[in-house]
């Protein structure tokens, strides 16, 4: 006797597992890890717990700065090294701990404080430091707002944006070799164009798609049943 194969039902995803997956994806996106962090995340095993490690990195950079250990020259790579050594090993964690939601603001705080400490020590223009921090902050805000609307920025943006780790390395090297101002200027201009253009074009595409969907819905409501049936039949034939 020939039997027809039974269609297998699609397994329903576990709501709790899906919630954890989305939470991890959001927190990782808010961290703004770049190519270096992504490359190392698959090679460092379990890594360090994100909140304690990032908090220690931030406090260590603050302590080094307050103690007056920073001065123009290669020593300006010290705060960068502190942040990299302590925060990079946290990139592989799942960020599902009770307080792991604190990781993104701590990472951003460590990045911003390090940029400001290096810039002021190297006598970089204060307005340039402000603009750079603003551009990175805008990118973070845009990422948070998009993910809360279930609109995820493309992965290439985070890699093209260099991530917090490569941004700090570039600024630290520029300061160590006495070229912090041109390095900051080029980096700020690059990030501004990248984040602004990508954000604007993404939201414009979304607005156009929403407007088209609203227009289609309104047209369907205004159409008579016969017209709606005829349109649906035509679309089915074309398909």
User: Tens of pLDDT along 29-59?
Assistant: 899 999 999 898 888 777 899 999 999 999 9
Confidence of residue 15 (pLDDT cuts 50, 70, 90): low
pLDDT recorded at residue 202: 81
Q: Name which of 163, 168, 152, 157 is nearest 39 in CA terms.
A: 163
Model's pTM, two decimal places? Answer: 0.79
Structure tokens belonging to residue 182: 């041109």
Structure tokens belonging to residue 238: 């074309």
Quick one: what percent of the chain has pLDDT higher than 70? 78
Quick one: what percent of the chain has pLDDT higher than 90? 57
131: left (phi over 0), alpha (psi -120 to 50) or beta: alpha
Q: Per-residue pLDDT tens for 191-223?
A: 999 999 998 888 777 655 555 544 444 454 455
CA 215 – CA 219 distance, rounded (Å): 6
Give 228: exposed, middle or buried? Use CB within 10 Å, 0-12, 13-18, 19+: middle
| Mean pLDDT for all residues in the chain | 83
Q: Are 31 and 88 a contacting pair, CB within 8 Å?
A: no
Q: Are 36 and 165 a contacting pair, CB within 8 Å?
A: yes
Q: What is the mean pLDDT of residues 144-168?
A: 90
pLDDT recorded at residue 194: 96
Q: What is the mean pLDDT of residues 86-96?
A: 89
pLDDT recorded at residue 7: 47
Q: Is the pLDDT of residue 158 over 60?
A: yes
Q: Are 143 and 32 a contacting pair, CB within 8 Å?
A: yes
CA 222 – CA 176 distance, rounded (Å): 67
CA atoms within 13 A on the CB side of 174: 22
pLDDT recorded at residue 228: 47
Q: Are 89 and 37 a contacting pair, CB within 8 Å?
A: no
Confidence of residue 233 (pLDDT cuts 50, 70, 90): low
- Report, at the CATH architecture level, how domain 17-238 is classified: Up-down Bundle (1.20)
Q: Is the pLDDT of residue 5 over 50?
A: no
> Among the residues of 73-125, which ranges form H helices?
77-87, 103-121
Query: Where do the structural domains in the chain lie, given as residue ranges?
Result: 17-238
Q: Is the pLDDT of residue 166 over 50?
A: yes
Q: What is the mean pLDDT of residues 165-178?
A: 96
């Amino acid at each position: 006797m020939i039997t027809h194969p039974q269609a297998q039902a699609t397994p329903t995803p576990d709501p709790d597992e899906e919630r954890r997956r989305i939470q991890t994806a959001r927190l990782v996106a808010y961290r703004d890890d770049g190519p270096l962090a992504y490359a190392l995340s698959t090679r460092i095993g379990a890594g360090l717990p994100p909140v304690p490690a990032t908090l220690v990195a931030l406090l260590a950079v603050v302590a080094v700065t307050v103690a007056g250990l920073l001065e123009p020259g290669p020593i300006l790579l010290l705060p960068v090294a502190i942040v990299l050594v302590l925060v990079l090993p946290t990139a592989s964690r799942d960020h599902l701990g009770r307080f792991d939601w604190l990781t993104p603001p701590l990472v951003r705080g460590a990045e911003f404080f390090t940029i400001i400490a290096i810039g002021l020590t190297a006598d970089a223009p204060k307005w340039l430091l402000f603009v750079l921090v603003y551009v990175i902050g805008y990118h973070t805000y845009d990422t948070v707002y998009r993910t809360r609307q279930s609109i995820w920025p493309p992965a290439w943006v985070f890699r093209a944006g260099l991530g917090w780790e490569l941004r700090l390395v570039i600024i630290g090297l520029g300061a160590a070799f006495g070229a912090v101002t041109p390095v900051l200027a080029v980096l700020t201009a690059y990030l501004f164009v990248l984040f602004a253009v990508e954000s604007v074009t993404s939201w414009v595409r979304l607005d156009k798609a929403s407007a088209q969907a609203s227009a289609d819905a309104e047209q369907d409501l205004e159409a008579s049943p016969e017209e709606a049936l005829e349109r649906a039949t035509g679309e089915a034939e074309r398909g």
